[in-house]
Amino acid sequence: MSDEQRRTTRSPNFRYAKLVLPDAGEGEQVFPVILRDTSAEGVGAMYIGKDDLSATETYFLRDPEGDQRKVRIVWTKQVADFVQMMGMVFVDE
């Protein structure tokens, strides 16, 4: 589902967050993202970096206050060298 096809209203709200992928041990990989909009179902974001983010992984989306929520990437689009736009859905516990 692309972000243009969301069933709920999107609220534009640009802010910084971290996409966190726990590893098998106690560590984690952290990818800085800029959230561009939020809905009840998920978020649209921009990632600037060299890593390819996997759509098969479950990540934590962590805000600057440390609150986090599980997400899964449902689409990505490379828009420039090292810049990816993406859509993520919230994963219910």
Can you give the length of the chain in residues? 93
- Residue 91's pLDDT is 94
Cβ of 45: how many Cβ atoms within 10 Å?
Answer: 27
Q: How far apart are the first and last CA of the chain?
A: 21
pTM, entire model = 0.80
Checking if the pLDDT of 4 tops 60, the result is no
pLDDT reported for residue 26:
82
**What is the reported pLDDT for 93?**
62
Please report the domains of the chain, with CATH numbers, ordered by start residue: 3-90 (2.40.10.220)
pLDDT at 12: 61
Question: Could you write out the DSSP letters of every residue in 28-78?
Answer: EEEEEEEEEEE-SSEEEEEEESSPPPPTTSEEEEE-TTS-EEEEEEEEEEE
